[in-house]
Amino acid sequence: MKLSFNLPVNSVSFGQTSYLILRSIFDRVKAGKDYEVNLFLIGGGYDLSAQKEDKEFEQWLNHCILRGLSSHRRSDPIFKLWHLNGSLESFSEKQSLLSFYELDSPTPFELNVARNNKTFFSSKYTCDIFKTYGSDCQHLPLAFDSYNFKKTNKNYFTDGRIVFNLCGKFEKRKNHVKIIRSWIKKYGNDNKYGLQCTIYNPFLNAQQNNQLLTGVVLEGKPKPFNVNFLPNIPQNELYNDFLNSGDIVIGMSGGEGWGLPEFQSVAIGKHAVILNAHSYKEWATPENSVLVNPNGKEEAYDDMFFHKGQPFNQGNIFTWNEDEFINACEIAIERVKSNRENISGIALQEKFNKESFVDSIINTIQ
């Protein structure tokens, strides 16, 4: 069976999802599946620096790239994973597109991209929005990355503290400023609790990242001793350690295509405080997370990643009440005290398994 892909292979969310797809197909090929894979890379090359070194997989990847150049035809169906901006372009007359979308007001440009592809979104919320604008799209949920994320059973702290983790590159959409300030107001300098933040934004330099943390988040005030801003974590193995070192993951972003770090955390058994909105609702339930209902919306524009009046990424993100967030943190703390392992969360590994995810992708190509 011929399978053609147009994917980014790098260390950010799109690239991590692409790796999971390709690695799963590679495993099937090794097991005897007759797949002829043609691969066209987005971004000019691949970056496997976040993954464990595997020369055999990398050789196979290079072989797929060369085979695509020599044997792919435009009449062959292709599967693409990418932003809407950049997905009108195609190596095939029959392109299936999986994209992440975070806002609520698709523009004529975005709707045209969706119309010109067999378009899938990871979020039912996004599908419903596009359908109200007359766009025929389908839902394709993501999968747990069992290659890179698992429970370690390590003891990271010996003093019994309850540790909150905050993830995702720093930006307005993810509500990092509000989350950290609210948490500090309640738990700052209390040695029973800790807050670890991996919110380094790789699209900014170190000085810009530091200015955002010290000048914007902390407003020039001293950092509480129990708040830790971690540098960029480039390898998945180290990031898995980070996820395992926390007890409660915070997912209060105003708009997400899935929320991979939060999802992986809950799936390895971490408790969670999650906004009951957008793509979080795909996997966060009252059983595996403490849910906070949104209280409205606000414009997403930050003059950094979202610019008002542009052809793409227009619209709003969800807002929430600070007191309700803190109340949810208190409930999550009690859940940790009852059982540090989130049994309901672990069930996500099977519900969203990579085999079913890849089967769905292969079915779109056939």
pLDDT tens digits for the chain (366 residues)?
999 999 999 999 999 999 999 999 999 999 999 999 999 999 989 999 999 999 999 999 999 999 999 999 999 999 999 999 999 999 999 999 999 999 999 999 999 999 999 999 999 999 999 999 999 999 999 999 999 999 998 999 999 999 999 999 999 999 999 999 999 999 999 999 999 999 999 889 999 999 999 999 999 999 999 999 999 999 999 999 999 999 999 999 999 999 999 999 999 999 999 999 999 999 999 999 999 999 999 999 999 899 999 999 999 999 999 999 999 999 999 999 999 999 999 999 999 999 999 999 999 997
pLDDT at 44: 86
pLDDT at 90: 97
30 Cβ neighbours under 8 A, 6+ residues apart: none
183 Cβ neighbours under 8 A, 6+ residues apart: 164, 195, 227, 250, 326, 329
Which uninterrupted H or E stretch holds 249? strand 248-251
pTM: 0.96
**β partners of residue 319:** 296
**Are the C-beta atoms of 200 and 232 separated by less than 8 Å?**
yes
pLDDT at 366: 79
pLDDT at 203: 87
Pairing mode, strands 271-275 and 248-251: parallel
Closest CA to 145 of 221, 212, 239: 239
**Are the C-beta atoms of 81 and 41 separated by less than 8 Å?**
no
Domains and CATH numbers, the chain: 2-144+353-365 (3.40.50), 162-351 (3.40.50.2000)
